[in-house]
Amino acid sequence: MADKDVIIDFLKSKSAAKSKFYFKDFTDLFPDKGPREVKKLLTQLVNEEVLEFWSSGSTTMYGLKGAGKQSHAEGED
């Protein structure tokens, strides 16, 4: 399976419980890859608009684009 699909499948498999994940959750998917390689994959997926960042201001998480609470849920439309 392509590396990007591993990430997407992981996110979809967890979608019932969680919509946002720490960077470390993704490095655990690729025990043979260093964090920098995993970061490149995630960056590509963000640039392809498959994933999106979520930030509290102090911590950043990744999630599938459109999953979980979105800005329109805050009345921002």
- The reply to whether 76 sits near other proteins by the rule CB under 8 A is yes
28's enclosing H/E stretch is none
Q: Considering beta carbons, is residue 12 or 22 the nearer one to other proteins?
A: 22
- Which phi and psi angles does 6 have, rounded to 5°? -60, -45
Q: Out of 1, 5, 16, 47, name the contact with other proteins by CB under 8 A.
A: 47
Quick check: helix, strand or coil at residue 24?
helix
Q: Interface with other proteins by CB under 8 A: which residues?
A: 22-24, 27, 34-36, 38-39, 42-43, 46-47, 52-60, 69-71, 74-76
